Chain A
Amino acid sequence: MADINRIISDLQNDSSFMSCVTRWERIGPRPGRYCELPGDLDPRLQRALAGRGISRLYSHQGQAYRNARSGHDSVVVTPTASGKTLCYNLPVLQAIIERPETRALYLFPTKALSQDQQSELGEVVLASEFGIKVATYDGDTPESLRASARETGQIVISNPDMLHAGILPNHPKWIKFLKQLRFVVIDELHSYRGVFGSQVTNVIRRLKRICRFYNTDPVFICCSATIGNPLQLAQTVLEREVQLIDDNGAPAGERHVVLYNPPLVDRVQGIRRGVVNEAQKLAIRLLRQKVKTIVFSRSRVRTELIADYVNKSLANMYTDNARIRVEPYRGGYLPSERRAVEKGLRDGSIHGVVSTNALELGIDIGGLDAAILGGFPGSISSSWQQLGRAGRRQSVSLAILIASAAPLDQYMVANPDYFFGRAPESAFVDADNIYVLMDHLKCAVFELPFGADEGFPQAVTEHLALLEEEGTIRLSGHSYYWADRGYPAEGVSLRSATSDNVVIIDTSGGAHSVIGEMDRPSAKEMLFDNAIYLHRGEQYVVLQLDLHNRRALVERSNVNYFTDALVKRDIKVLHEDHRQQLCGCEAAVGDILVRTQVAKFKKIRFRSHENVGYGNISLPEEEMHTRAVAMIFAEGSAAGNALAQLPPTMIAPAMTRIGALIRNVAPFFLLCDARDIGIAERLRDPHFGAAALYIYDAYPGGSGLAEAFVTVMPEVLTAARELIAGCPCRQGCPSCVGPRDSAEEIDGDPKQALGALLEAWLAHAQPLPKTQTAARS
């Protein structure tokens, strides 16, 4: 039997382990709070629940049920293992049983999640034998099943992309569904932040508009992971009053959360043992005690390596791996393989899993005893979601964060109070991002003529007039009509990432079998010619990456190294629209090309991880054309002068820290997500002939963030100065200028230097918000 208590006391008595622990936090158990099954719940549904061992509800499930039944929109904050799906399944199933014509739409952010949901809901439906028809409608749904999904699906499971490009533009085909649409479930609401959130907000606007046409007003039930502002996010996305349900009634066992900094192997150079080795050693230690463990790793290659090492080590110690099964899990596998791992974890046939953040989202894998985070995942809320994968309702759980050498990781283990005290990040959405709004306004006109005085929901008369001038819509009578032969949703992608996948084909021994799929940018980094590709414990060599036909031919291999691509990023200014004097520097706005090139790869020996050679990669660059603003520290400007005053060795560290600082501050003002903006600093920029800091839009073509940045620049810089002055840290932390990097050789305090720079700069800055059109082009 798994004895988590024994392993906890073993670890606590292990002095070499404990010497690396910087904080051992015990979080006491929390009793459950329950309520009776709702009185109006159909007896057959009650019996079906009883068959699954559910005779009462957690308090938050009851509240979600009552809210939905009384027609109120809600957002339920649902940590892992809190019985999230019942919060929305119960009111929906009840309504369908009462009135079989009732329809519900479930939106999941990714396709993988929707398939998982269908299998789980399938259980409820089958168990209760109501014959409720659940249909998945996404890009993978074969044409032959689409019509039946539309006509007979009582619960249709889809994603925002499909709603945007498939369902709404063809809403007359969905008339039967839309006329009876009573519920819209938005799961994983927290993933709709930043520009993606703006996109989805506008899709929801269109959905509500179409619903009005069919005289329906569905109730929205949202679920969100723990973030700083779930209610605000829900109200921004839905644009109406929403009730917050964050009083989680699910019980939780005692939790131990440990911050672990690997031991130094070279005290002089400050080199520590690597995350991969530490994670696999700890995982083996836990698994040998039959502790069900999940290991999170920060890359796909590391996921494969750790799983492979763990399995091999277990095989050496015991025959038949002591019947302990450990599987890797990441993007790039076939859906059926992922389903099999998820199922194995739920039914207990798989004891350990090594995963990328793919398992951080709400896929149901049951409760695990322990979680090992191989590196800080980048945000506090992600950390808690990953740590939360360990934890059952009754028993004790253990979660260990292993720090890598990265400054952010090192800061977290060195400052446990920061880690444990910091609130999860908030999610920002700019519902009225003008680029996004204009795109969706076109789609809305396509879907239904747009009244000249109609709102979206705010007044958009100017926007419509501009679209009319552009010629895509036309005012006739009192409405605007779509007056273009195109299909606007086709040209609008909700996500910045490209969706065309490369298929991985194993050709060993004359075979030709598809073993996986991968998005194009990742394929360039993992499936280049001669790459060693690790896939579910097997080693393959890539014979040919054929981007044109979107396939990679691979063959089994048996070498003693794996490969790691070196990625180079480069920015080129394509066109400068205008430049203005602003806040004591020059701000130039224009088009840039962000080029990502994988030109070389390293060969790294298994286990020892020593570098055993290099190879060349000849692949075309990945290019993104986007919009950027460059802050130019021009000679003689307040910013330029302030930078010049710094000691020469401090100039480079200061520039990188301005970037980190702006990344921390700007999202508050831009209402975007940190991942929506890219930041690059140049000490001497070839285009501008001075030091420059680029803030660019991570969304291809731009989503207005660069332009918006110019308008909020005075506030951003003022806030940045205040943040540095007010931050209690010593030489920088993740909240301000970024943590001090031990690999950096700097004399003095970079935080202080940057503070001085900002003071000197802003003291002489005269914000002159006047546009000067550039003569150059």
Chain B
Amino acid sequence: MRNLYQRLKQQREASPALPAAGAAAAARAVAQPSADLAGEWQPVAQQVWRAVYRSPLLGSDALYRSAAHGGLLLGPEIDPHGLCFFDSETTGLSGGAGTTVFLLACARLHGAELETTLLFLSDFSGEASFLHLVRDQLMSAQTLVSYNGRAFDSNILRNRFLLNRIDPPHRPHIDLLHPARRLFGSLLERCSLAVVERDVLGVTRDIDIDGALIPDVWLRFLRSGRTGELQSVFAHVRQDVVSLVALLAKIEELVASPDRGGIDPLQRARLLVESPYRRAGSVRLRRSGLQSLSVLARDPSDPRSAIAARYYCALLKRCGNWDVAVPIWRDHFERRRSVWAAIELAKFYEHRCRDYAAAAETVAHAAGWDHASAMQPELTRRLERLDGKQRRASGSSAVRGHSDSA
């Protein structure tokens, strides 16, 4: 900074009316890259390049099968051909308005082939055209698939669209990070795509660039104009989207036949219970989840049995299998004094049997347990509501109540 100051001072002293714009223009002419991207690269706009690759797609059967029969994330309403697997590379990892996207990779299924499109920005001034092309790519898809794209790529892209006053694209978005964490989180050192790829998919990259170094490569390219180093970045991002396709297939495969992957039945059950992707997750899949859990849930010597029972019953509930669920809840309510079981049981009495008295009695019982203090507010709320329902049910004409608070 001191040098800068002195040079600024000196420059001012040397030539008070410095033709600064001219000097800058001269500097720019030197720095401007020739952008000699060859081969599959086509210039598509000022400073914007595109490359398209086709490759055979192995193991696509799982995807098509899940889509047809209903899987964890895919279902009949999603046409696999409408999926767009995408990843982007940026000038920084810390976010903020000054972080720019310079590379986008999108992969689409074409039968047994995968078509990967790369869009590359070779200098800032082409950003608006670049973003229009990115937008076209993403908007042509039905559903986007990414890894950590919800938190990172989408946010940075959204910033870029806002800054360039272009409408950001809106498409449903499946982020594979969440299911990958559930399924593999306990098995892996980290849940980065690189680790998942290596340890779950068994992909080995011959030569690869560390993702954290990619911003520097592009910034160096801007200054030198040399494209050599960029090749490893292009290869890297291509492999990323190919792995995304494989990962989605792997997740569907493991969830559909859990015994093969050695995955934690509890985590798998949690995924099925908590899955935000409610439209998917077929009955068949939930049923298959039950088998592995039922054994665990009935083994009181296993410390995980309570939680297993909880997920087991939650899955049973989704399948409408009350006959099996209710005795388990009752057992946990009566013998183990589990608050969650009391609540489930009360819900069952209230909504399935319309027996508000039994529901209220169950809740009141649980509210009396010392260890239930943390749940007290919820129990109280539930009790109040049940009392109201009971009053209305017993003499609806006498009660001029407010609207149903349920």
Binding site for B on A (CB under 8 A): 169-172, 175, 434-435, 438, 445-449, 452-453, 461-466, 468-471, 474-479, 481-488, 490, 577, 627, 701-702, 704, 707
Contacts and interface: CB of A to CB of B under 8 A. Distances in A.
B369 interface: no
B277 interface: no
Interface stretch (B90-98, B170-178, B258-266, B316-324): B90-98
A480 to B, nearest CB: 9
A551 to B, nearest CB: 28
B97 A170 contact: yes
B40 to A, nearest CB: 25
Contacts of A707: 5, 9
Nearest to A702: B2
27 contacts: A169-B96, A170-B97, A438-B5, A446-B96, A446-B98, A447-B98, A461-B21, A461-B24, A462-B8, A462-B12, A463-B8, A465-B23, A465-B27, A466-B7, A468-B24, A469-B27, A475-B27, A476-B28, A477-B123, A477-B125, A479-B124, A481-B100, A482-B98, A483-B219, A484-B91, A485-B94, A487-B98
B188 interface: no
B95 A170 contact: yes
Contact of A627 (B2, B7, B11, B125): B2
A470 B222 CA distance: 14
B159 interface: yes
Contact of A484 (B97, B125, B219): B219
B52 interface: no
Interface string B1-36: 110111111011000001011011101100100000
Contacts of A475: 24-25, 27-28
Interface residues of B, number: 41
Given A434-B5, A462-B8, A479 B125 contact: yes
Given A477-B125, A487-B98, A702-B2, 11 more contacts: A170-B95, A434-B8, A446-B96, A448-B97, A463-B8, A466-B8, A482-B98, A483-B219, A483-B222, A485-B93, A488-B98
5 A-B pairs with the lowest CB-CB distances in the bound complex, closest first:
A477-B125, A446-B98, A482-B98, A461-B20, A476-B124
Given A172-B163, A485-B216, A435 B5 contact: yes
Interface centre among B2, B6, B12, B31 (most CB of A within 10 A): B2
Contacts of B95: 170
B158 A438 contact: no
Contact of B124 (A464, A477, A484): A477
Contacts of A465: 20, 23-24, 27
A704 B2 CA distance: 9
A488 B27 CA distance: 23
B307 interface: no
Contacts of A170: 95-97
Contacts of B159: 172
Interface string B247-261: 000000000000000
Given A438-B1, A485-B91, A704-B5, A452 B97 contact: no
Chain B at the A interface: SS class: helix
Interface centre among B21, B93, B158 (most CB of A within 10 A): B21
B219 A470 contact: no
A175 B168 CA distance: 14
A476 B125 contact: yes
Given A169-B97, A452-B24, A476-B123, A485 B92 contact: yes
A482 B94 CA distance: 14
Contacts of B149: none
Interface in B150-180: 158-159, 162-163
Contacts of B23: 465
Nearest to B223: A471
Contacts of B9: 707
Contacts of B216: 485
Contacts of A487: 92, 94, 96, 98
B20 A462 contact: yes
Contacts of B223: 471
A438 B93 CA distance: 24
Contacts of B92: 484-487
B71 interface: no
Contacts of B93: 485
B215 interface: yes
Contacts of B25: 475
A273 to B, nearest CB: 50
Contacts of A474: 31, 123-124, 222
Nearest to A575: B2
Interface centre among B8, B25, B27, B96 (most CB of A within 10 A): B96
B98 A169 contact: yes
A18 B11 CA distance: 65
A435 B3 CA distance: 11
Contacts of A466: 4, 7-8, 11
Contact of B97 (A172, A435, A438, A453): A172
A172 B158 contact: yes
B1 A435 contact: yes
Given A169-B98, A446-B97, A470 B4 contact: yes
A209 B245 CA distance: 43
A435 B215 CA distance: 27
Contact of A485 (B1, B7, B162, B215): B215
A462 B13 CA distance: 12
A285 B126 CA distance: 76
Contacts of A704: 5
A698 to B, nearest CB: 17
Contacts of A702: 2
Nearest to A701: B1
A5 B242 CA distance: 87
A485 B100 CA distance: 10
B145 to A, nearest CB: 24
B70 to A, nearest CB: 34
Contacts of B47: 476
Nearest to B20: A461
B246 to A, nearest CB: 30
Contacts of A468: 24, 27
A534 B394 CA distance: 66
A533 B123 CA distance: 59
A660 to B, nearest CB: 29
A29 to B, nearest CB: 54
B91 A483 contact: yes
Nearest to B160: A172
Contact of B21 (A172, A438, A452, A471): A452
Contact of B162 (A172, A471, A484, A490): A172
A260 to B, nearest CB: 49
Contact of B11 (A462, A488, A577): A462
A461 B19 CA distance: 9
A169 B100 CA distance: 13
Nearest to A459: B20
A702 B6 CA distance: 13
A462 B124 CA distance: 21
Contacts of B123: 474, 476-477
A453 B12 CA distance: 18
A234 B91 CA distance: 38
A474 B91 CA distance: 13
Contacts of B7: 466
Contacts of A445: 98
A701 B223 CA distance: 29
Nearest to A168: B97
A476 to B, nearest CB: 4
Interface centre among A434, A462, A486 (most CB of B within 10 A): A462
Contacts of B8: 434, 462-463, 466
A490 B1 CA distance: 16
Interface in B258-276: none
Interface string B117-149: 000000111000000000000000000000000
Interface in B81-103: 91-98, 100
B138 to A, nearest CB: 18
A479 B123 CA distance: 11
